[in-house]
A and B are shown apart, each in its own frame.
Chain A
Amino acid sequence: MRKLLVFIPLVAFLGLGIFLFKGLFMDPRTLPSALIDKPFPEFSLPSLYNMDETLTQLDLQGEVALLNVWATWCPTCKEEHAQLNKIGLEEGVTIYGLNYKDDPELARQWLERYLDPYRKVIVDEEGYLGLDLGVYGAPETYIIDKKGIIRYRHVGEVNESVWLHLRELMQTIEKEDA
């Protein structure tokens, strides 16, 4: 028994080693969202298609949907746009857009040029809603359920493999709600 005590430091070292080794492969840029399972923050912002129309958090309720934070100044948003077109236009999934700290005119031109997969687009020129959402880098994509609760957040590009994961999550959430 006493002899085993000698191994305690070794075991502790190995434990720490495994813990730190795992850390090497973690992405320090992905932060956990503080808003998971919380209602979508309240807001009252213009719609990109009609700046006189005001959108609020109530406009995002009713179905399980994606909310994509994007901007014309964001290169990764351009990269993922084709994937969003596929999700929104071909698969018919509801995607809401949040045009984050952008010029609405440029945003409209962009959607004309690269097609528009969004059901509604919120204009957040000053970044207030982005701040309330805890956005720290576009693009970000959230899953919102029927009651307008944020269920998941993905930071970075949505590509095919990310989308497969998101779709699975959306289907599970849909079943839960039903």
Chain B
Amino acid sequence: MIRAILMLCMLSVVALKSHAGFETYEFSSVEGERRYAQLARELRCPTCQNQNISDSDAPLAADLRRELHRMIESQQTDDQILDFMITRYGDFVHYRPRIAPETYLLWYGPIVLMLIGLGVVLVVAKKRKPRQPAQSASSSTKATPSLSEGLTDDERKRLQSLLQQDDQK
């Protein structure tokens, strides 16, 4: 008996908890419910920044959820809903910013940076290539002109022997 009462108490706590949070909406279709969940995650709450409207318990977020539900139930498309939000709260309200001239830098900046980086790497690699074969060739035959320039014959010989010593190791 006691066990049953305890059980009931626990159940009621669980039940209360699930109702204490946010309002729940009924949807006429499963698809609508899925879109609601998706859009509520993508829309940013303007008062409590860095929370989306499905996370936030601010009254404004509740208003936005109410509008979202209304618009989905009146068969509006995702684009229409996002337009509605953006004309009121600006681009700020959408976590996935639209592609427009103001956001080109944001969307294409990383690609441009990557291309620049690739270009720099290619240029540097190309400049390095001719030098390496020259060095390896010099060690087997002669010192590169740049190294032996301005040296006396004795010095040149010494350099040659030093380089060959290196090769034998």
Contact = CB atoms under 8 A, between A and B. Distances in A.
Interface of A: 28-29, 31-35, 101, 127, 130-137
A31 B59 CA distance: 18
Interface in B34-74: 46-47, 49, 59-60, 63-64, 67
Nearest to A134: B88
B90 interface: yes
The binding surface of chain A is classed by DSSP as loop
B109 to A, nearest CB: 13
Contacts of B49: 28-29
B138 to A, nearest CB: 24
Contacts of A101: 59
Contact of B90 (A28, A33, A130): A33
B63 A127 contact: yes
Contacts of B67: 131
A155 to B, nearest CB: 10
Given A101-B59, A136-B60, A32 B90 contact: yes
A8 B69 CA distance: 52
A130 to B, nearest CB: 8
A1 B90 CA distance: 45
Contacts of B86: 34
Contacts of A32: 90, 92
B167 to A, nearest CB: 32
A101 B63 CA distance: 10
Interface in B119-145: none
A136 B46 contact: yes
B108 interface: no
B89 interface: yes
Interface in B81-106: 86-90, 92
Given A28-B49, A29-B49, A136-B47, A131 B63 contact: yes
